[in-house]
Structure 1
Amino acid sequence: MSRALSVDLRVRVLGAIAAGATHREAADRFGVSAASVSRWRKRERELGEVRPGPLGGDRRSGRIEAHHDAVLAALGPGRDATIEEVRGSLAQQGLAFGFGTIQRFFARHAITRKKERTRE
């Protein structure tokens, strides 16, 4: 996984721009891409800081989590519906989620899909 470049480098690059260099000139001088310089400049303008934002992590599970109750209701009273049955039930409500999305939702909430063996 990639790492963010140091804050020190970002400050020096943005200092060169403040001194009159173009984005491309500053990028060539410090060995970074012009696109990175543009992103750092935008971040400095909008947030007032040049520190990098967080990297990685889950950015999309919030969409299905917003419909937590609907997903649990789609499982049925015995919580024994298959993932495809849950997908179909949610689709009837206008909610489209992929098989893997629902599978990860179940894993996060410890909902298992194993069948219980009958006991005598």
Structure 2
Amino acid sequence: MTQSFSLDLRVRVADFVEAGHSCRAAARHFGVSDSCAIKLMQRKRQMGSLAPARQGRPPGRGKLVAYEAFLIQTVEAEPAITMPELAARLLDEHEIVAAPAMLSRFLCRRGFSYKKMPHGGGVRTRRRAG
């Protein structure tokens, strides 16, 4: 994702336009694109603010959230389960396709970590509350 222009620059562009200049003139003066200046002024008129909108997907959503209890129960019942096996079980029981890496990230966010064992395997365990 790209980074938004600073609020300082946004305010200066808006002030320049409100002083009687066109959006395109403000864009040339401050070295931004014409569409940036135009959209900035549209945002000020519609929202009343020059602050950039939040970028990215809202947290707490996704296709695995509905199956959180199932995934946690499965991992706690069988800590040595691999992510491909967990993905296969999720597909069999709930008909949801999920990549093993996605499952791993989901479990890590829920407090699980992967502990490697000397025999080459591993076990998923919950982190202790600190």
TM-score between the two structures when normalised by the length of structure 2: 0.62
Q: Flag structure 1 segments of 5+ consecutive residues without an equivalent.
A: none
Residue by residue over 1:41-98, the C-alpha shift from the partner in whole angstroms, topping out at 9 and shown as x without a partner, is 3432343211234567x75663133431132244362333211111122223232322
CA distance in 1 between counterparts of 2:83 and 2:114 reads: 9
How many residue pairs align between the two structures?
116
CA distance in 1 between counterparts of 2:53 and 2:34 reads: 19
| Larger proportion of strand | 2
Q: Flag structure 2 segments of 5+ consecutive residues without an equivalent.
A: 119-130
CA distance in 1 between counterparts of 2:45 and 2:21 reads: 16
Map 1:20-35 onto structure 2 (within 5 A).
21-22=22-23, 24-35=24-35
Map 1:20-59 onto structure 2 (within 5 A).
21-22=22-23, 24-54=24-54
**Percent identity of the aligned residues?**
25
CA distance in 2 between counterparts of 1:70 and 1:45 reads: 47
Amino acid at match of 1:108: R
Partner residue in 1 for 2:103: 102
CA distance in 2 between counterparts of 1:6 and 1:112 reads: 38
Map 1:1-120 onto structure 2 (within 5 A).
4-18=4-18, 19=20, 21-22=22-23, 24-54=24-54, 62-63=61-62, 64-75=64-75, 77-92=77-92, 93-114=94-115
CA distance in 2 between counterparts of 1:87 and 1:45 reads: 48
Q: CA RMSD in A?
A: 3.4
Matched-pair contact (CA < 8 Å) for 1:13–1:30: yes
Matched-pair contact (CA < 8 Å) for 2:83–2:101: no
